[in-house]
Amino acid sequence: MSTSTVRKLDPESPSSLTGVKGRRRFVDRAMRVVVFLAFLLAVIPLFWVLWITISRGIGLVISPEWWTTSMRNVGPNDFGGGAAAAIQGTLIQAAIATAIAVPVGVLAGIYLVEYSDKPLVRPVSFMTDVLTGIPSIVSGLFIYALFITTFGFNRMGFLVALALTLLMVPVVVRGTEEMLRIVPNELREASYALGVPRYRTILKVVLPTAISGIITSVMLAVARIMGETAPLLILVGYTASLNPNPFEGEQAALPLMINVERGNPLPPGQERAWAAALTLILIVMLLNIGARIISRFSGIKK
Amino acid sequence: MNIARFTKTAALAAVGVMALAACSDGGSNDASSDSTSAANIDCASGTLSSEGSSAQGNAMTEWIKQYQLACPDATVNYNPTGSGAGIEQFLADQVDFAGSDSALDTDDGEVADAKERCDGNEAWNLPMVVGPVAVAYNVEGLDNLVLNADVTADIFSGKIKKWNDPAIAALNSGTDLPDEPITVFYRSDESGTTQNFTQYLQAAAPDKWTEEPSKSWTGTGEGKEKSAGVQEATIQNENSITYVEWSYARDGGLGIAQIDNGSGPVELNGDTAGKTLDASKIVGSGNNLEMEIDYATTEPGAYPIVLVTYEIACSKGLAENEAAQVKSFLTYTASDDGQSVLNDLGYAPLPPEVAGKVQAAVADLS
């Protein structure tokens, strides 16, 4: 954008075509081509992935049975089938993870920003950075070692939710922190000037100002953990049947379903794997759109 | 906060999704229409967990479908995560039985661990699924290809490089073989199929194949990941050859070589694969039916490259309802009804003699 403005200020009259200006124009053009090519390079794989997933998965995804039935009693060579069990499991696990991670993450974020004079802030901030860098497989193995090897639990959906919580907390902390930092200090000072204590200032002034951004960052974190596969592979078994109980037995999830159906060499299995991938993309996309809408319509109105 | 407007937008979006879903044809969803009703199943209710070999994944899925159709109160789960994972989870008390490409290993301590898992009782290896491995090729116009162990070993070790090599021509007299190089594809991941195939090569062509059988490939060629990978590569590259499970070769429309075991060329089908098992012996004792496959069999009409996968279950020692479920489900899978549904899926049924022993062993589970 800015380059084109510059060009207009620099009229292309023959008199301005000295050596320097010609070279500048050449560099300008060349850079613009390079930037455009880089953009194309970044976008092509995205659209390619989208196109392949949609073209191979849409056939199943548009049928109502896909959303309402499970894979129970669908043989490996039967076409069709449904993702209800996988969608149910993914949503339940993500919901539990969110329910644990959001209070912890938001409160930690508030602590880091609003109580930045406290001694624990530096270690908490550092640990959040460390947590951010933990690969999902490690968090899965940690939960496995703690709950299954040490405490002797059976594999279940709830353990997946715990592993996802570990991945989600640092994202929420960082998101909350960023959002609280951009709340203007004048608001806090004005509140203090009126004699309002710190906790009320946070609850009534700072949080409402930042809430839309916090919600957005939470939704993005949810979307991110939904596609995690490594903890699922370790911590829960796949089932073709619906299982609404995260505390007992196998529970399906979309990434697991993709993995299992990919292992089925017959055409119906391949079709289901693509459809499950498309379903996961759709759900994540809906969450992202939801985050946009919420952030637009919530928060303080001017 | 403008909640009302947000709700409206959300509702609109939801309605849109519903409408999109509703206007589909829904055509391809006839999941249970072709299901044969499995008649004589002695049902046990509850949830049964199992895990293991991916080679028997489709067989299990089909069995589970038939079993659950007959027993609506039962849920059986099978996770095709691999033999090693299955045994691990079985020993760790996470699943009720395991599926495995190989029997429990005494040297690794698996047998002892399994005894502990089963409360001091023996765990039995029950052969359940027979999966033949195809030597699959893609050569235009070549409908029939006959190979024997020596030539196969030479092709897969890279000594035979051309399709019209005299050694291949000698087995296929009268066939027009192209003057083209052979492209070999192999499994780049560790795989029971590779182990099984190299066991065959070593047993049947000991002079030609000198490498030790193993899960990772030691021959020549270009590696592709998983069965789907070698299948795809062979479909896309003319004059190529690979080894892959029967179902992959068949569904990919690839040519499947007949194997000459010394008594004439043998086509791959359920009967010929079963013959090799008939010729093999059971090395386990009592109801522990560990098998040793005679890859070098010269039995006429026996297709020698077969993979036997086991279910590994506690002879006793499980909780009462779990034991009842395991027994009920395995009784069905070992039954003639159970074995006969596998044919369309690229598996061969257990030969009657072995099936009889497995049925007897399952009846002894308690």
pLDDT, tens only, A83-131: 999 999 999 999 999 999 999 999 999 999 999 888 999 999 999 999 9
Q: What is the ipTM of this complex?
A: 0.77
Q: Which residue type does B6 have?
A: F
Residue B284 and residue B277 in contact, taking contact as beta carbons nearer than 8 Å:
no
Best mutation target among A87, A236, A239 (most B Cβ atoms within 10 Å) is A239
Over its length of 366 residues, how does chain B's per-residue pLDDT go in tens digits? 444 454 445 444 444 444 443 333 333 333 333 444 445 788 888 899 999 888 888 899 999 999 999 999 999 999 988 888 899 899 988 999 999 888 888 888 888 899 999 999 999 999 999 889 999 999 998 888 999 999 999 999 999 999 999 999 999 988 889 999 999 999 988 777 888 899 999 999 999 998 888 888 988 899 988 788 898 899 999 999 999 989 888 888 899 999 998 888 999 988 898 888 888 888 888 888 988 888 988 888 899 999 889 999 999 888 888 899 999 999 999 999 899 888 878 888 888 888 999 999 999 988
Q: Do A64 and B248 touch (CB under 8 A)?
A: no
Report the candidate in B82, B140, B90, B154 with the shortest Cα–Cα distance to residue B117: B90
State the pTM of this model. Answer: 0.79
- Judge whether A25 is closer than 8 Å to chain B, CB to CB: no
Mean pLDDT over residues A29-54, rounded? 95
Task: Give how far the C-alpha of residue A259 lies from the chain's centroid of Cα atoms, to the nearest Å.
Answer: 20
Classify domain A84-296 at the CATH class level.
Answer: mainly alpha
What does the pLDDT look like over A236-247, one tens digit per residue? 999 999 999 999
> Residue B213 in 3-state DSSP?
coil
| Contact: B80, A265; criterion CB under 8 Å | no
Other Cβ atoms closer than 10 A to A46: 9
Q: What CA–CA distance (Å, rounded) separates A131 from A138?
A: 11
pLDDT tens per residue, range A137-179:
999 999 999 999 999 999 999 999 999 999 999 999 999 999 9
Q: At residue A31, does pLDDT exceed 50? A: yes
Asked whether A252 and A238 are in contact (CB, 8 A), the reply is: yes
Query: Do residues B261 and B148 make contact, with C-beta atoms less than 8 angstroms apart?
Result: yes
- Give the DSSP letter string of B98-120: EEESSPPPTTTTHHHHHHHHTTT
How far, in Å, CA of B124 to CA of A211, rounded?
60
Interface A-B: count of C-beta contacts within 8 A: 138
Tell me what pLDDT residue B57 has. 86
- The pLDDT, as a whole number, for residue A5 is 46
Asked if A184 reaches chain B (Cβ–Cβ under 8 Å), the answer is no
DSSP letter at B267 equals: -
Contacts of A233 in chain B (CB under 8 A): 81
- Closest Cβ opposite residue B77 in set A69, A238, A264: A238
Whether residues B35 and A264 touch (CB distance < 8 A) is answered with: no
Cα distance between residue A115 and residue A103, in whole Å: 17
The pLDDT assigned to A94 comes to 95
CA A244 to chain centroid, in Å, comes to 23
Is B31 in Cβ contact with A73 (below 8 Å)? yes
Spatial CA neighbour of B57 closest among B34, B82, B88: B82
User: Is A148 within 8 Å of B54 when comparing Cβ atoms?
Assistant: no
Helix (H, G, I), strand (E, B) or coil at A52: helix
The rounded distance, in Å, linking the Cα atoms of A270 and B323 is 34
What Rg, from alpha-carbon coordinates, does chain A have? Answer: 25
- Is the CB of residue A79 less than 8 Å away from at least one CB of chain B? yes
The vertex-A187 CA angle with A183 and A192, nearest 5°, equals 130
CA distance A61 to chain B (A): 8
Among left, alpha and beta (phi > 0; psi -120 to 50; other), residue B209 is: beta
- pLDDT at position B53, please? 86
Put simply, the answer to whether A148 touches B92 (Cβ < 8 Å) is yes
Supply the mean pLDDT for chain A. Answer: 89
Q: Residue ranges per domain, chain A? A: 84-296
Instruction: Identify whether the C-beta of residue A101 lies closer than 8 Å to the C-beta of residue A221.
Output: yes
| More reliable by pLDDT, A11 or A266 | A266
Using DSSP's 3-state secondary structure scheme, residue B55 falls into coil
DSSP B121: S
Tokens of residue B48, six digits: 């049964």
pLDDT band for position A299 (50/70/90)?
A: low
- Region class of B275: left (phi > 0), else alpha (psi between -120 and 50), else beta: alpha
In which band, very low, low, confident or very high, does the pLDDT at A182 lie, cut at 50, 70 and 90?
very high
Strand partners, B203: none
Q: How far away is chain A from the Cα of B280, in angstroms, using its nearest Cα?
A: 28
Provide the pairing of β-strand B74-79 with B46-52: parallel
Q: What is the predicted pLDDT for the residue at B124?
A: 93
Return d(Cα A242, Cα A91) in angstroms, integer: 13
Q: What is the pLDDT of residue A301?
A: 55
Residue for token pair 């991670």: A101
Residue A241 φ then ψ, to 5°: -100, 160
Distances (CA, A) of B211 to A296, B142, B151, B184, B195: 66, 30, 16, 17, 11
- Phi, psi for A214 (deg, rounded to 5): -65, -45
Q: What's the pLDDT score for residue B173?
A: 85
pLDDT of residue B42: 85
B13: closest chain A residue by CA: A286
User: Does A274 contact chain B (CB < 8 Å)?
Assistant: no
Q: Which pLDDT value is given to residue A196?
A: 94
Structure tokens at B290: 């560990």
A74–B1: do the CB atoms touch at under 8 Å? no
pLDDT value of position A13? 52
pLDDT of res. A1:
44
> Around Cβ B227, how many Cβ atoms within 10 Å?
24
Contact B293, B101 (CB under 8 A): no
Predicted pLDDT at B15: 43
- Is the separation of the CB atoms in A72 and A88 below 8 Å? no
CA dist., res. B132 & res. B127, Å (int): 14
Q: What is the structure's pLDDT at B85?
A: 86
The pLDDT of residue B22? 38
